Amino acid sequence: MSRLKCSIWVKTSFTGFHCWPEAQEDIAYLRDLHRHNFGVRVEFDVTHSDREVEFHQLLKQLNEEILPKVKFRLEAEPRMSCEDMALLIASNLPSKNMISVSVDEDNECGAIVRK
Protein backbone atom coordinates (compact mmCIF):
# COMPACT_ATOMS: atom_id res chain seq x y z
CA MET A 1 0.00 0.00 0.00
CA SER A 2 1.36 3.42 -0.91
CA ARG A 3 2.00 5.96 1.79
CA LEU A 4 -0.56 8.75 2.06
CA LYS A 5 0.62 12.34 1.90
CA CYS A 6 -0.69 15.19 4.06
CA SER A 7 -1.05 18.88 3.35
CA ILE A 8 -2.62 21.83 5.09
CA TRP A 9 -4.33 24.85 3.62
CA VAL A 10 -5.66 28.25 4.64
CA LYS A 11 -8.24 30.43 2.92
CA THR A 12 -8.92 34.13 3.21
CA SER A 13 -10.18 36.97 1.05
CA PHE A 14 -9.84 40.67 0.40
CA THR A 15 -11.66 43.30 -1.60
CA GLY A 16 -9.83 45.06 -4.41
CA PHE A 17 -10.17 46.76 -7.76
CA HIS A 18 -8.39 45.92 -10.98
CA CYS A 19 -8.73 46.29 -14.74
CA TRP A 20 -7.45 44.85 -18.00
CA PRO A 21 -7.01 47.69 -20.50
CA GLU A 22 -6.23 45.24 -23.34
CA ALA A 23 -9.50 43.28 -23.00
CA GLN A 24 -11.11 42.15 -26.25
CA GLU A 25 -14.27 43.86 -27.44
CA ASP A 26 -16.69 41.20 -26.19
CA ILE A 27 -15.36 41.68 -22.64
CA ALA A 28 -14.66 45.39 -22.92
CA TYR A 29 -16.15 45.98 -19.45
CA LEU A 30 -12.93 44.54 -18.02
CA ARG A 31 -11.03 47.56 -19.33
CA ASP A 32 -12.56 49.72 -16.60
CA LEU A 33 -11.60 49.51 -12.95
CA HIS A 34 -13.96 47.01 -11.31
CA ARG A 35 -14.39 45.48 -7.87
CA HIS A 36 -13.88 41.88 -6.78
CA ASN A 37 -13.78 39.89 -3.61
CA PHE A 38 -10.49 38.09 -4.24
CA GLY A 39 -10.27 34.69 -2.58
CA VAL A 40 -6.87 33.35 -1.58
CA ARG A 41 -5.98 29.74 -0.79
CA VAL A 42 -2.49 28.57 0.16
CA GLU A 43 -1.51 24.90 0.48
CA PHE A 44 1.60 23.42 2.13
CA ASP A 45 3.00 19.89 2.28
CA VAL A 46 3.48 18.45 5.74
CA THR A 47 5.35 15.27 6.62
CA HIS A 48 3.59 14.55 9.91
CA SER A 49 0.33 15.34 11.68
CA ASP A 50 1.68 17.36 14.61
CA ARG A 51 1.45 20.91 13.27
CA GLU A 52 4.58 20.99 11.17
CA VAL A 53 3.05 24.11 9.65
CA GLU A 54 0.50 25.59 12.05
CA PHE A 55 -2.32 26.86 9.88
CA HIS A 56 -3.50 29.53 12.34
CA GLN A 57 -0.02 31.08 12.26
CA LEU A 58 0.10 30.77 8.47
CA LEU A 59 -3.30 32.47 8.15
CA LYS A 60 -2.17 35.28 10.45
CA GLN A 61 1.01 35.79 8.41
CA LEU A 62 -1.01 35.82 5.21
CA ASN A 63 -3.55 38.36 6.49
CA GLU A 64 -1.20 40.64 8.44
CA GLU A 65 2.04 40.58 6.46
CA ILE A 66 1.50 39.35 2.92
CA LEU A 67 -1.95 40.58 1.82
CA PRO A 68 -1.20 44.21 2.77
CA LYS A 69 1.69 44.04 0.25
CA VAL A 70 -0.64 42.65 -2.40
CA LYS A 71 -3.28 45.33 -1.73
CA PHE A 72 -0.65 48.08 -1.84
CA ARG A 73 0.73 46.83 -5.16
CA LEU A 74 -2.77 46.34 -6.60
CA GLU A 75 -3.63 49.97 -5.81
CA ALA A 76 -0.41 51.10 -7.50
CA GLU A 77 -0.77 48.68 -10.43
CA PRO A 78 -4.49 47.93 -10.95
CA ARG A 79 -3.70 45.91 -14.08
CA MET A 80 -2.58 43.00 -11.86
CA SER A 81 -4.15 39.66 -12.77
CA CYS A 82 -5.02 36.81 -10.42
CA GLU A 83 -1.85 35.11 -11.68
CA ASP A 84 0.20 38.19 -10.73
CA MET A 85 -1.32 38.25 -7.25
CA ALA A 86 -0.75 34.51 -6.72
CA LEU A 87 2.89 34.87 -7.78
CA LEU A 88 3.38 37.81 -5.41
CA ILE A 89 1.84 35.89 -2.52
CA ALA A 90 3.96 32.81 -3.30
CA SER A 91 7.14 34.89 -3.41
CA ASN A 92 6.43 36.12 0.13
CA LEU A 93 5.79 32.68 1.64
CA PRO A 94 8.38 30.23 2.91
CA SER A 95 8.79 28.12 -0.21
CA LYS A 96 10.16 24.95 1.40
CA ASN A 97 6.83 23.15 1.72
CA MET A 98 4.53 25.30 -0.39
CA ILE A 99 2.42 23.37 -2.89
CA SER A 100 0.20 26.04 -4.38
CA VAL A 101 -1.33 29.50 -4.11
CA SER A 102 -4.64 30.30 -5.76
CA VAL A 103 -6.41 33.62 -6.20
CA ASP A 104 -9.97 33.79 -7.46
CA GLU A 105 -12.45 36.49 -8.41
CA ASP A 106 -15.72 36.30 -6.48
CA ASN A 107 -15.33 32.53 -5.99
CA GLU A 108 -15.96 32.01 -9.71
CA CYS A 109 -12.73 32.18 -11.75
CA GLY A 110 -9.11 32.28 -10.76
CA ALA A 111 -5.51 31.20 -11.11
CA ILE A 112 -3.25 28.69 -9.38
CA VAL A 113 0.51 28.90 -9.00
CA ARG A 114 2.17 25.59 -8.15
CA LYS A 115 5.65 24.80 -6.97
6-9 contact pairs (CB < 8 A, 24+): 6/45, 6/46, 6/47, 6/48, 6/49, 7/43, 7/44, 7/45, 7/46, 7/99, 8/43, 8/44, 8/46, 8/53, 8/55, 8/58, 9/41, 9/42, 9/43, 9/44, 9/55
Q: What is the pTM of this model?
A: 0.93
Question: Does the 6-114 domain belong in CATH 3.40.50.2020?
Answer: no
Domain spans, the chain: 6-114
**DSSP single-letter state for residue 93:** S
Per-residue pLDDT at 48: 87
Per-residue pLDDT at 51: 86
**DSSP single-letter state for residue 48:** S
pLDDT in tens, the chain (115 residues): 467 889 999 999 999 999 999 999 999 999 999 999 999 999 999 988 898 889 999 999 999 999 999 999 999 999 999 999 999 999 999 878 899 999 999 999 999 999 8
Per-residue pLDDT at 2: 61
